[in-house]
Amino acid sequence: MLTFVHNLSAGVSFSLTCSQDLFDETTVQLLASRVSYLLHQLFEPNPALPKEQSLYQLSIVLSQEHVLIHTLKTNDINRSPAIFNTVPQSFSQVAFSHLQKVSVELDEQALTYGELLFYAQQFAFLLINVHCVKE
C-alpha cells in the first residue's frame, strides 16, 4: 500500500507498506526508489524535460541502472557464443537434447520437450502465415 502525506512545512512524503511473505526487503527498497524517482521527475522543475509530458513517458530506470546499462553496452567482454542465442534458439537446443523429458506439468498432465517444441512451432506457423505476424 502506498500512502502519501502532505505536510505544509515538510512537503510531501510517502510510505510503502508491503507484506513480508510476498516481497523481500530489497524488492521493496527498489520499488520505493522507483516511486521516489518518478515523483522527483513529476514535481521538481527540470528545464530539460518538456512542460507537458505524459506519465508513461517518464523513466523508472534509476541512475545506477543507467550506469550499468551503459557499461554493458560499451564494454567488450569475451562472452561465450551461447549468450548470443535468442530464446527460441536456446529452447530448441534444450528440446532437441531432451526430447522425451517432461518440460511442463499442469494439473497432472505433462508435455515433453518434443511435444512442446512441436506445438510452439505450430503456433508460430499460425501466427506468421494466418495472422501475418512478422518478426
pLDDT tens digits along 59-99: 889 989 988 888 877 765 555 555 677 888 889 999 999 99
pLDDT at 70: 85
Q: Is the pTM of this model over 0.75?
A: no
Helix (H, G, I), strand (E, B) or coil at 19: coil
Q: Assign 121 a pLDDT band (cuts: 50, 70, 90).
A: very high
Helix and strand element counts for the chain (H, E): 4, 4
What's the rounded Cα separation, in Å, for the pair 66 and 62? 6
For the cut 70, the answer to whether the pLDDT of residue 110 exceeds it is yes
Mean pLDDT taken over the chain = 85
- DSSP H stretches of helix in the chain: 25-43, 63-74, 87-97, 113-129
pLDDT at 101: 94
What's the rounded Cα separation, in Å, for the pair 66 and 69? 5
